[in-house]
Amino acid sequence: MNTNIRTNVIVNLIRTLALTILSFMTFPWVCRVLGDAQLGLYTWCNTFVYYFLVLAKIGLPNLALRECVKVRDDKEKLSNKAQGFFILQSVTTILSFGLMCSFVFAVPSLFDAKSIIFLLSINFISGAFSFEWIFMALEKQFYISVRSIIVLALSALLIITLVRNPDDVYIYALITAGVTVITSIINCFFVTKFISFKKTMPYDLKEYAKPLFTLCTLSFMLALYNQTDTLILGFINSDKTQVGSYSVGIKGIEIIIGIITSLSTVFIPRATWYYQKEDKRFFKNLFRYSVNICSFIVVPAIIIMCFLSKEICSIIAGNDGYQYAALILIILSFMMLTYSLGDIIYGQILIPMKKEKYYLYAMLGGVALNIGLSFLLGLLVFKDNPAVGVAIGTIVTDILVLAFLVSICWKWIYKGIFSLNNLKIILGGLITIIPSVLLTIVFPIGSFFTNVDIITQTLLQMVIVAVIDFIIYVVSLILMKEDLVYSFIKKSPKEPV
């Protein structure tokens, strides 16, 4: 485990930022071309297929990652575990696809959308052959980053070139599914450098029965938790326009959450290694470092998205349709913090300690509460704009789930979350409220650019406000000697782990 954790974080951050830029290039284009109804239809179908893709995985990636980390220095044992997990993944993929087909042909609303659903089902083929957990266990972050950027850049080019009108939603579905296929093909080619597919040892699959049951249930409940809001909104809103608005509103949130969860995956192999070696000091320090990074990114992101919500949604989807998207973005902005912290606790505390059952309990309660609140608020309280009601139900649920996880893991995490350093980050974020108010409400900076079109004006306002906020934020953290920022300007930065 001699790979520098900071190097892995930086490489992964570069990858995530590159993918974010590519996403921002394609998603606004798709919003404008497809429109809210077709985008809502795609989102709804993708959510449905996603449930069965998760069921096909039955929690295998996390279990495989944890088990492969233990034997990563022994190629024969690593190959044996990889072969066993591949067999299990192939069986579950076939069973899950068959179950999905039965639902499609039994439910009329799903049958009407069968073309898009089966195009997105191409992901099943690639699921069994991805072997992503091998590369994660071996901490091959550079390979993962380069591959991801190339494949996503290709898909972005195809989307902009081929998706030209609302009827091209089928082409869009095919391209998005094709990303995972290409990724799996590349992985299959390179994975042979690290493992062999020649059987040299018997497979001991029985030892995985109990953890797989827990992880399978957890994975499905996590999928429900992540997608319940969109799925319920699709049933409440028959023409799917509110689903389109919701997907635009949550897009900015998903980008930041994606950055944090992507960075968090870098720490899972190292956290597992430290806990296995009973190195509790480094185990806790790793969590503290991860939370530090999370707070540094999320706190200013919340403030910027609240003050620039209209501009962000306008850039993403244009000014036609997608009503309430900006309000949804504001409501859900705090999920960037609550969801990210919950994911860090799960990946870096509960998985290494083999206590995933507590996260399962959290997801069970979260799903039940989210369903109840979404229907209550979406159908009764906000019946004229159910997307807003569903958004409120989702953020309330997420806060309660995080509170439960913190109480369960208090011994291991309280110093990492409730620290003086995180207070410095919050104070630095609060300071940026002043320039945000001045530049977006008192003296809207975009209004000074009268000789440019509305899109350019909006972009200029976003960039100027974000840059000024960031400069003030970083300077304030330097003055307060915040750990993460200050470590980069010291002559001999101390590695946190």
The predicted-structure confidence for 390-424, as pLDDT tens digits, reads as follows 888 889 999 999 999 999 999 888 888 888 999 99
Which of 24-28, 99-103, 459-463 has the weakest average pLDDT? 24-28
Q: Are the beta carbons of 335 and 261 closer than 8 angstroms?
A: no
> What percentage of the chain carries pLDDT values higher than 70?
93
The predicted-structure confidence for 246-259, as pLDDT tens digits, reads as follows 777 787 787 788 77
Using alpha carbons, select from 396, 57, 401, 391 the residue that is nearest to residue 232.
391
The predicted-structure confidence for 124-151, as pLDDT tens digits, reads as follows 877 677 888 888 888 888 888 888 889 8
- pLDDT attached to residue 240: 65
Measured distance CA(245)–CA(433) in Å, rounded: 27
Listed as own residue / partner, the contacts of 71-79 with beta carbons closer than 8 Å and 24 or more positions apart are 72/137, 72/138, 75/194, 75/195, 75/196, 76/196, 76/200, 76/201, 77/201, 78/134, 78/137, 78/194, 78/195, 79/195, 79/196, 79/197, 79/198, 79/200
Q: If pLDDT is split at 50, 70 and 90, which confidence band does 239 have?
A: low
Three-state DSSP class for residue 289: helix
Q: Are the beta carbons of 494 and 354 closer than 8 angstroms?
A: no
On the question of pLDDT at 455 being above 70, the answer is yes
- pLDDT attached to residue 2: 45
**Token pair 């809103």: residue:** 237
Q: Are the beta carbons of 452 and 423 closer than 8 angstroms?
A: no
On the question of pLDDT at 490 being above 80, the answer is no
Q: Are the beta carbons of 342 and 398 closer than 8 angstroms?
A: yes
Q: How far is residue 40 from each of residues 107, 161, 409, measured CA to CA in Å?
A: 19, 21, 38
- Helix 309-317 and helix 241-276, axial crossing angle in degrees, nearest 10: 110
Which of 71-75, 301-305, 318-322 has the weakest average pLDDT? 318-322
Q: If pLDDT is split at 50, 70 and 90, which confidence band does 494 have?
A: very low
- pLDDT attached to residue 431: 93
Measured distance CA(456)–CA(448) in Å, rounded: 12
Q: Are the beta carbons of 301 and 336 closer than 8 angstroms?
A: yes
**Phi, psi (5° rounding) for residue 495?**
-65, 130
Q: If residue 33 lies in a helix (H) or strand (E), which one and from where to where?
A: helix 5-57
- pLDDT attached to residue 318: 64
* Prediction pTM value: 0.74
Q: Which of 353-362, 444-453, 488-497 has the highest mean pLDDT?
A: 353-362
Q: Which of 90-104, 442-456, 476-490 has the highest mean pLDDT?
A: 90-104
- pLDDT attached to residue 322: 66
- pLDDT attached to residue 255: 77
Where helices occur in 192-279 by DSSP H, the ranges are: 209-236, 241-276
Q: Are the beta carbons of 132 and 68 closer than 8 angstroms?
A: no
Q: If pLDDT is split at 50, 70 and 90, which confidence band does 201 have?
A: confident
Structure tokens at 271: 């956290």
**Phi, psi (5° rounding) for residue 165?**
-150, 170
Q: 368: burial class by Cβ within 10 Å (0-12, 13-18, 19+)? A: middle
The predicted-structure confidence for 355-366, as pLDDT tens digits, reads as follows 888 988 998 899
- pLDDT attached to residue 493: 44
How high is the mean pLDDT of the chain? Answer: 82
Measured distance CA(472)–CA(468) in Å, rounded: 6
Using alpha carbons, select from 438, 426, 443 the residue that is nearest to residue 477.
426
On the question of pLDDT at 492 being above 50, the answer is no
What is the b/e burial string over 241-258, where b = at least 16 CB atoms within 10 angstroms of the residue's CB?
bbbbbbbbbbbbbbbbbe
